[in-house]
Amino acid sequence: MSSTEVTVVVSDCAEEDARAVFAALDAAFTAEEATRPRSGTGATVWTSAYDVAAPAEPTPPAPAPLAHQVSVEAQGGYRAVDRVVAVLDSAFVIDTVGTAAGDQEKDIHLRIHGRAGV
């Protein structure tokens, strides 16, 4: 994984909410890998990889509605993950649940909510 790649995992939500999260990221970055569901022990998660070196659009995404809270994990280079979090913060209300820092990468776990009135 290069320092500009970020893997994003969305879980604990309905498919429509996962699509809203990825739509916000797709508006800002080029997806390296298509979003796809992965089912496991009764849970479904959606994953996508983004190269955040060159944004797809210069403007941030509009705030998006969410039916419920969504869990999001982002893993990649420090600056790359920060760029993903900034895009999510422009479209949703985010709460940081936890972070893990490595030598070259960081992993952040967020709970995101739709903005009031959206």
**87-98 pLDDT tens trace:** 999 899 999 999
Please tell me the distance from the alpha carbon of residue 84 to that of residue 50, in angstroms, as a whole number.
9
Q: Report which listed range, 27-36, 61-70, 89-98, is most confident.
A: 89-98
Mean pLDDT across 66-70: 93
Q: 33-49, pLDDT tens digit by residue?
A: 766 666 555 668 899 99
Q: Is the Cβ–Cβ distance between 84 and 102 less than 8 Å? A: no
Contacts of 10 (CB under 8 A, 6+ apart): 17, 18, 21, 22, 45, 46, 47, 70, 71, 72
The pLDDT confidence band at residue 26, using thresholds 50, 70 and 90, is confident
What's the number of CA atoms in the CB half-sphere (13 Å) around residue 56? 16
What is the reported pTM?
0.86
Average pLDDT over residues 103-115: 92
Here the tokens at position 95 are 């709460």
Q: What is the pLDDT of residue 31?
A: 82
